[in-house]
């Protein structure tokens, strides 16, 4: 077994060009994601009537002036963007001991919003089968997070059990397990199953509402709206955390482990203090009775993925040393390959070595089974 120094809790694989042809059943090939050219001659995936270009999700070593949503081609990519062997080489160059891989949410949401339950499940399973095979090339360094469908608790539990059997280290949600717009008692059987199977449940940035449609590529050419979205990725997570805590999810399922992916942690101390204060003042007339203070559930049941969060790391005692895990988000445009070690050194300057080891290695290593 390798000696782990840095474990990355959030990387991505850009879909190989033959993924859907190879893994999606033939009966669905007419609606499968199709590789097409974007307006600048780059490659993109046609998802229904929307072209998802690769310019900001297949990036390594580029400077800000070089970034563009369109014009990126598979032919120009390093093999590590799509292939496991090449990814291990890139991880070695960046000093990453092991990594966990999130599903491509834009493609998963496409399958979820077509309105065909059989097609949705087939799409989720195709990706999950692919990523299981992909990480199996080096399971001591690569871990898979499987995508759950957004149809009903029954279908979500079936895919959860399938993920466990396949060796996935966690599962990802794009909507509530029951497929509803809001958290409800219908989600409880899923939380119970995840707790029993000891499968961490991940929400990558946030959940999408029922009926969500991805914006067309024309809306991704820039402007203030894009910067607002990119600069506020943590904004949905506090509401989701409070919703689960105040609805008693963690009283009913105390062993359930949740992860907020790519949301940072510097905001956490304020949320914890605010939840405790509002609960103390309003618990009686709101008729909410918890077994513990709200902040205790975050400490016990939640972890957050940080990318560049010097404030959060420097205040890790307030955030929760056990509750933070580092992520590169490679190969999305926010990654710092091959200088992740420099970024980590800058963020963690002056903090205790044992705390640094937990945030950048041990917390993820233990959650995902790389470290006993």
CB 219 within 8 A of CB 258: no
CATH number of domain containing 100 = 3.20.20.140
Domain-embedded: residue 95: yes
Let me know if residue 9 belongs to a domain: no
- Structural domains of the chain, count: 1
Is residue 96 a contact partner of residue 339, using CB atoms and an 8 Å limit? no
Residue 141 CA to residue 1 CA, distance in Å, equals 9
pLDDT confidence tier of residue 210, bands split at 50, 70 and 90? low
The whole-number pLDDT of residue 220 equals 59
List the structure tokens of 262: 């790519």
pLDDT value for 222 = 72
On the question of pLDDT at 117 being above 60, the answer is yes
Q: Which residue has the higher pLDDT, 4 or 208?
A: 4
pLDDT at 1 over 90: no
pTM of the full predicted structure?
A: 0.95
Q: Which two tokens stand for residue 229?
A: 């979205």
Cα separation, 270 vs 91, whole angstroms: 34
- Residue 354 domain-assigned (yes or no): yes
* pLDDT mean over 246-251: 98
Residue 358 lies in a domain: yes
Task: Report the pLDDT averaged over residues 173-188.
Answer: 95
pLDDT tens digits for range 37-81: 998 999 999 999 899 999 899 999 988 999 998 999 999 999 999
Task: Of 171-175, 202-206, 217-221, 358-362, give the lowest mean pLDDT range.
Answer: 217-221
Q: Please give the pLDDT value at position 289.
A: 98
- Would you say residue 275 has pLDDT above 50? yes
| Full domain range(s) for residue 138 | 83-367
Does residue 64 lie within any of the structural domains? no
pLDDT over 70 (residue 285):
yes
In a domain, 133, yes or no: yes
Does residue 10 lie within any of the structural domains? Answer: no
pLDDT bin (cut points 50, 70, 90) of residue 218 is very low
Per-residue tokens: 195: 């707790």
DSSP letters spanning 34-55: EEEE-TTS-EEEEETTEEEEST
Mean pLDDT along residues 234-248: 96
DSSP states of 146-181 as a string?
EEPPSS-HHHHHHHHHHHHHHT-SEEEESS-TT--S
pLDDT of residue 211: 62
For residue 212, the model assigns a pLDDT of 64
**Range with lowest mean pLDDT among 156-160, 221-225, 245-249, 304-308:** 221-225
- 60, part of any domain: no
Measured on CA atoms in the order 168, 169, 173, 179, is the torsion positive or negative? positive
Give the model confidence (pLDDT) of 72-100 as tens digits. 999 999 999 999 999 999 999 999 999 99
Average pLDDT in the chain: 94
Cis peptide leading into residue 331 (ω within 30°):
yes
Check pLDDT > 90 for residue 295: yes
């Amino acid at each position: 077994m390798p000696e782990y120094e840095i474990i990355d809790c959030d990387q991505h694989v850009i879909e190989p060009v033959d993924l859907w042809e190879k893994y999606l059943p033939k009966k669905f090939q007419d609606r499968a994601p199709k590789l097409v050219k974007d307006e600048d001659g780059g490659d993109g995936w046609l998802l229904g009537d929307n072209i998802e270009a690769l310019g900001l999700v297949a990036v390594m070593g580029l400077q800000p002036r070089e970034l563009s949503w369109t014009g990126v081609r598979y032919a120009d990519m390093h093999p590590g963007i799509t292939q496991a062997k090449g990814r291990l080489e890139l991880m070695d160059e960046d000093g990453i001991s092991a990594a966990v891989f999130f599903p491509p949410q834009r493609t998963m949401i496409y399958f979820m919003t077509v309105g065909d339950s059989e097609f949705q499940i087939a799409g989720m399973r195709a990706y999950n089968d692919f990523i299981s095979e992909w990480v199996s090339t080096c399971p001591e360094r690569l871990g898979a997070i499987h995508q759950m469908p957004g149809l009903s608790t029954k279908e979500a539990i079936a895919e959860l059990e399938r993920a466990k059997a396949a060796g996935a280290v966690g599962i990802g949600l794009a909507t509530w397990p029951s497929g509803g717009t809001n958290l409800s008692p219908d989600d409880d059987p899923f939380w119970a199953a995840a707790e029993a199977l000891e499968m961490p449940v991940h929400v990558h940035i946030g959940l999408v509402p029922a009926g969500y449609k991805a914006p067309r590529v024309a809306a991704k050419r820039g402007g203030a709206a894009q910067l607002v979205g990119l600069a506020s990725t943590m904004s949905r997570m506090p509401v989701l955390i409070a919703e689960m805590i105040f609805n008693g999810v963690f009283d009913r399922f105390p062993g359930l482990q949740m992860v907020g992916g790519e949301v940072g942690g510097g905001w956490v101390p304020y949320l914890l203090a605010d939840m405790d204060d509002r609960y103390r003042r309003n618990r009686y007339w709101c008729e909410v009775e918890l077994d513990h203070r709200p902040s205790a559930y975050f400490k016990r049941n939640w972890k957050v993925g940080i990318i560049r969060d010097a404030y959060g790391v420097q205040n890790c005692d307030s955030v929760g040393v056990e509750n933070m895990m580092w992520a590169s988000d490679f190969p999305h445009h926010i990654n710092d390959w091959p200088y992740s070690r420099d970024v980590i050194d800058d963020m963690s300057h002056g903090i205790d070595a044992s705390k640094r080891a937990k945030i950048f290695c041990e917390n993820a290593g233990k959650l995902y089974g790389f470290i006993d």
